Amino acid sequence: MAIASSVPFNCHQGEREQARERIEEATPAASFHMDSSEFRRRGKEMVDYIADYLEGIEGRAVYPDVEPGYLRPLIPTAAPQEPDAYEDIIKDIEKIIMPGVTHWNSPFFFAYFPTANSYPSMLADMLCGAVSCVGFTWAASPACTELETVMMDWLGKMLKLPEAFLAGRAGEGGGVIQGSASEATLVALLAARTKVIRQLQAASPELTQAAIMEKLVAYTSDQAHSSVERAGLIGAVRFRTIPSDDNFSMRGSALQEALEQDKAAGLIPFFVVATLGTTPCCSFDNLLEVGPICNLEGMWLHIDAAYAGSAFICPEFRNLLNGVEFADSFNFNPHKWLLVNFDCSAMWVKKRTDLTGAFKLDPLYLKHNHQDSGLITDYRHWQIPLGRRFRSLKMWFVFRMYGVKGLQAHIRKHVALSHEFESLVRQDPRFEICTEVILGLVCFRLKGSNQLNETLLQKINSARKIHLVPCHLRDKFVLRFAVCSRTVESAHVQLAWEHIRELASVVLRAEKE
């Protein structure tokens, strides 16, 4: 089939024969073939493999026992000239890949923050791969665009976001799926930068972009994720770090003080990133203080709630989002804690024109008859890349199959487990809890030196039964216990704690000797 169709169609019969022979000669003997019936068979096998993997994940060491560079010697130095057999590839998964995998979905994985994983989401991803449309404009795949807009409204309603953030039928705001919280922060920063430059140039046309950029200053707390500072590096604007208070929260007074100093020095404050659920200890910036200052000073307020945002679908945690009404943009990662597999980072803006106005270019080949309007969205204007996957399918499957109640139950289970761990730690006088436990993260440490805690963590991770990562809170080295896996139960938390206690005894004994 492929051969016949690649023979030029506008040549004579004799020439066609010769061309066909030339192509057949050039075609390797063992040509690749996975037709639809083979795909059906292999696909079913793969689904079984995945289900077995997830069902049996507890039996695998959560953290791999390999050294850097382990993989290269195990595979050929270049791609094969002739097709490999599918069976050989599958055999290599267990031989080469799995030994080097950190099992983020293991119920003994308590590191970083969770990565979302659910069967409905994986099924939707299969379909996304099959459709493989590139939905940069509405016309490039109307369902891809329209489902995304509606899913972002659904999710916004789950969080009880102010109406201004929703697209509705012809709202000024709306949501977009970005690949990551880092991208969302960068997009917000670039949009805010363009907006302030245009405003200042409208008032003083003699000002050059370079002269303005030199004076721009953005703010975030000392607890913000490194991706915030990185957005500043990429966007070529300076970030000033605001010292957080004793609860690791950015307060209005500290921000105001920095603003006054910078304005007095002739700088132009234009952008603030507030974090809800910081990476080190899940603390919350004080939006009710910071928000009004941003509005009064005409600064763009972006909220990064990468992890914690999912919890706001529960009424008992929604108060943590109070003050979002002051923000220009808000972002969190359903791919962390809302059972939608990576990648799916939900970002809303109050004024879609702030994004589309900043990033719009319209070459002829991307124009269509239904240009970006209240009803029609061209998401290419809302993001950095042009291409985009049909990611809203994952949200649609997950939201429909779990329902809001199912998703709330997932969040509540994790929060209950983190409190269970907290109370276990509190019962052991050798340990201390370092910050208030609000969601699914517990920061704890052995009372004693940083060295002691570093040794304990090193022992925990080299035993490979559970996996944790540390953080620094001021000058203290702290262990983070994040409830992560969809399948984690109380029994796993209890086992993890027993293990930590045993290793702590070893470390403390060694310290005395």
CB of 223 to ligand PLP, least distance (A): 9
User: Does 382 contact ligand PLP by CB under 6 A?
Assistant: no
Q: Which of 106, 118, 182, 377 binds ligand PLP (CB under 6 A)?
A: 182
The residues with which 346 forms a beta bridge, in sequence order, are: 177, 332
Within 13 Å of residue 99, how many CA atoms lie on the same side as its CB? 13
Count of residues interacting with ligand PLP (CB under 6 A): 14
Using CB under 6 A, pick the residue from 140, 159, 306, 439 that binds ligand PLP. Answer: 306
Q: Which of 47, 134, 162, 180 binds ligand PLP (CB under 6 A)?
A: 180
Q: Which stretch binds ligand PLP (CB under 6 A): 299-307, 384-392, 433-441, 442-450?
A: 299-307
Q: Which range binds ligand PLP by CB under 6 A, 60-68, 301-309, 422-430, 434-442?
A: 301-309
d(Cα 45, Cα 90) in Å, to the nearest integer?
A: 10
CA–CA gap between residue 93 and residue 74 (Å, rounded): 12
> According to CB under 6 A, which residues from 312 to 341 bind ligand PLP?
333
- Concatenating the DSSP letter of every residue in 373-396 gives -SS---GGGGSSSS----THHHHH
Instruction: Please identify, among the stretches 131-139, 174-182, 232-240, 405-413, the one whose residues bind ligand PLP according to the rule CB under 6 A.
Output: 174-182
The one-letter amino acid code at 298 reads G
Site for ligand PLP in 232-291 (CB under 6 A): 275, 278-279
Selected from 227, 341, 418, 485, the binder of ligand PLP by CB under 6 A is: 227
Task: Indicate the residue among 306 and 437 with the shorter CB distance to ligand PLP.
Answer: 306
Nearer to ligand PLP (CB atom), residue 282 or residue 456:
282
Q: Is the peptide bond before 343 cis (omega within 30 degrees of 0)?
A: yes
Among 148, 153, 289, 304, binds ligand PLP (CB under 6 A): 304
109 C-beta neighbours (distance < 10 Å), count: 24
E strands, 288-360, are 300-304, 329-332, 345-349
Report the site for ligand PLP in 98-137 (rule: CB under 6 A).
113
- Kindly tell me which residue out of 137, 286, 310, 345 binds ligand PLP, with binding defined by CB under 6 A: 345
Angle in degrees, CA 373, 379, 382, rounded to 5:
100
Contact 337, 317 (CB under 8 A): no
Our CB check for ligand PLP shows the closer of 308 and 504 to be 308
Residues 357/152, Cβ–Cβ less than 8 Å: no
CA distances from 372 to 251, 356, 359, 453 (A): 39, 9, 13, 55
Among 307, 317, 326, 397, binds ligand PLP (CB under 6 A): 307
Pairing of strands 216-221, 268-275: parallel
Which pair of structure tokens corresponds to residue 296?
């009064």
Residues making contact with ligand PLP (CB under 6 A): 113, 180-182, 225, 227, 275, 278-279, 304, 306-307, 333, 345
